[in-house]
Structure 1
Amino acid sequence: MKTTNTILIVDLEATCWENDRIPPGQKVDIIEIGICELNVTTKAISKKQSIYVIPERSKINKFCTDLTGITPQLIKEKGIHFEEACEKIRDEYDSTSLTWAGFGNFDKEQIMEQCDYLGIENPFSENYLNVMNQFKNYHGLHKMMGLKRALKFFNMDFEGNHHSGADDAYNAARILRKILE
């Protein structure tokens, strides 16, 4: 694996239900992959984008749309299949050779689960960095906290819309950048 000064920050949005009650016959599906790059040398955050994904094992309901802003119509217009999304990430970010990060383990576990289920190769490397754990250790905290509270700890405001994958990834990158200073 080549060494580089770039870390990919990823945040997923997925199909969800009120009280986490998954209807029979449906599974949690990724519907947005928010991604950006953090250059650890220059501290620049770049290449922020949302990749919308067509859910193959579930439907987007009103609760999910209210939380994420992602509608079935948006997915119909801009969505691509998960396998295409993985190829796009590999092609545009050279993702298999970079460390990647997310705020918590949900993103890593969901990518791995969906890749396994669909028989698709994970577009990311084995090197995963849990920004939530980095934050907790940096501040010597015993409890985890969410993205918005972590930003407040650094006296930073959330930029963009919470539960937008691209905006959440960007804000997680801001936290990681602060920890690396």
Structure 2
Amino acid sequence: MEQGLLNVVDIEATCWDGQPPPGQVSEIIEVGLTVVDLDSLERVARHRILVRPRRSAVSAFCTELTGLTRSEVDTGLPFPDACRLLAAEHGAGERPWASWGDYDRKQFARQCRATGTAYPFGQRHTNAKAAFTDARGLRKRPGMAQALELAGLPLEGRHHSGADDAWNVAALVLTLARSGNWPSPQAG
């Protein structure tokens, strides 16, 4: 059964209305992960990992966007522990994974480099936004909410919640898989 599983990941990071304050950088504060079984074409698990930022603080803008508060993320795991948890309990290194666009993959890589943390994911990543755009023959890559609308799917939960967005992206992955448009994960 493990071979047909795909991790769909969506992160939220510290953000500001404009540039970060001096000395602060954008850091992951939530990892949403939905496990998709590509054989049964079902979402089979849903996870949420809160991550405590080390070099930034949650701004009022960030709370308004994500719903996450400073006190809430302060209860989260340190980033290296969150990465170890992804690898140990969620098969992040073995399973292929997908995200909506390349931001999530690049932010993980950037933050792992900056903190000297082992990258938790394997090399088999699929940009679900690109797959959706190609399958639909669209000229512009839509945001997740617009893609749900185009696919006739509801936006479940809160937009810009990592756990809810991963759940919604997983629904889009399943529509692509059901129509034969989900690419086989490639290395690289």
TM-score normalized with structure 2 length: 0.92
Match of 2:11 in 1: 12
CA distance in 2, matches of 1:99, 1:163: 23
Q: For each residue in 1:1-58, what CA deviation from the matched residue of structure 2 results, as whole angstroms up to 9, or x when unmatched?
A: xx81111000000000003x11111111000000011100001112211100000111
Aligned residue identity for 2:78:
H
**Structure 1 residue aligned with 2:143, among 141, 146, 149?**
146
Amino acid corresponding to residue 95 of structure 1 in structure 2: A
Percentage identity across paired residues of the two chains: 35
Q: Counterparts of 1:142 and 1:4 in 2: how far apart (Å)? A: 33
> Given the alignment, which residue of 53, 56, 76 partners 1:55?
53
1:84-120 CA distances to partner (integer Å, 9 max, x unpaired)? 1111111111111111100000000000000111111
Structure-2 residue corresponding to 1:164: 161
Take 1:46 and 1:80, find their aligned partners in 2: how far apart are those partners?
24
Unaligned runs of 5+ in 1: none
- Do structure 1's residue 69 and structure 2's residue 67 form an aligned pair? yes
Which of 38, 43, 46 aligns to 1:45? It is 43
Give the counterpart of 1:130 among 127, 130, 147.
127
Q: What does 1:84-123 correspond to in 2, within 5 Å? A: 84-123=81-120
In structure 1, distance between residues paired with 2:41 and 2:133: 21
- The aligned amino acid for 2:6 is I
- Whichever residue aligns with residue 46 of structure 2, its letter is K
* 8 Å contact from structure 2 (residues 14, 26) kept in 1: yes
Letter matched to residue 164 of structure 1:
S
Report the Cα distance in structure 2 between the residues aligned to 1:95 and 1:12, rounded to whole angstroms.
Answer: 14
Distance, in Å, in 2 between the alignment partners of 1:46 and 1:75 is 26
Q: Which runs of 4+ in 1 moved over 2 A?
A: none
Question: Over aligned residues, Cα RMSD in angstroms?
Answer: 1.0
Q: Following the alignment from structure 1 to structure 2, what is the Cα–Cα distance between the partners of residues 36 and 152?
A: 20
TM norm structure 1: 0.95
Q: Which runs of 5 or more structure 2 residues have no equivalent in the other structure?
A: 179-188
* Secondary structure in structure 2 of the residue aligned to 1:121: coil
